[in-house]
Amino acid sequence: MNTFITNDGAKLFYKDQGTGQAFVFSHGWPLNSDAWEDQMMFLASKGYRVISHDRRGHGRSEQTWDGNNMDTYADDLSQLLEYLDVKNAILVGHSTGGGEITRYIGRYGTSRVAGAVLIGAVAPGMMKSLMNPHGLTMDVFDGIRAGVMNDRSQYFKDFTTAFFGANRPGNNVSQGMKDTFWLLGMQGSLKAQYDCIAAFSESDFTKDLKRFDMPTLVIHGDDDQIVPFEATAARVPHYVPQAQVKIYKGGDHALPATHKQMINADLLAFAEEIEMRRSENLTATCSL
């Protein structure tokens, strides 16, 4: 397996496939990097380099007792990019992973970043407040904690209903998708996944978003029952004026799985747009 050692000694698993412009993927809770397999296979076949890692405590990475917080997740991502010497990367984060890449940019800037894609992401923040009246209250996240501690296996199976929008008329999510969510979730550490609930629910990413100075694509389902659109994606342009927001009508939270053809096409178009801008800038510079 491909692994690297973080500054605090944690051994983390990663995938690195293909060549060319790099996409770097950060997965959602409580999954691992296999959640991106559709996007990684598609983009690698189109001539891109694709990189993803299992967040500490998740999947094949070491099940650390400490460090299950957003700052450390961002530090781990930074060390992975340095270890692989990744430059000009397009960072893609889903749900908690969207918070991870946002905090990474907040802490480390954009010297290695060409663009960012937030899919069903928890940024700018999930908690209800005066600034975020559409956010969720603490009792929602306490309920997640209670479910995980009481019977994690059954809770993950039940969680797939809202995650995939399986309770909506006309939804055709397969049992296989639900089973995969359960399988990936159960590979992680109970401690890490429990701690991560606070990380994705209580973190405030407003200051981090203000450091975004590159092309940014925000993708969100308008029927996301896990990360409400109005509480998160709708607020991103307040902090990232250049952000393009794409709403998937009827879209659930599991867009990389349930809407993979749309996600793949949008990621490819975003990369092509970035390359076109880069070429135009080079041409303009050479003509001076």
Helix (DSSP H) and strand (DSSP E) numbers for the chain: 10, 8
Catalytic residue selected from 224, 252, 259, 266: 224
What contacts 195, CB < 8 A, 6 or more positions away?
57, 68, 69
Element (H, E) at 92: strand 89-94
Residue 113 carries which DSSP code?
E
Q: Is 185 exposed, middle or buried (0-12, 13-18, 19+ CB in 10 A)?
A: buried
Q: Which of 27, 94, 253, 259 is catalytic?
A: 253
Cβ–Cβ under 8 Å, residues 220 and 233: yes
**CA end-to-end span of the chain:** 48
95 is catalytic: yes
Query: Which position among 33, 52, 95, 203 bears the catalytic label?
Result: 95
Q: Cα 52 to the chain's mean position, in Å? A: 10
279 is an active site residue:
no
Active site residue 253: yes
The sheet carrying 11-17 orders its strands as 3-5, 11-17, 49-53, 22-26, 89-94, 113-119, 216-221, 244-248
Q: How many whole angstroms separate alpha carbon 171 and alpha carbon 154? A: 22
List active site positions: 95, 224, 253
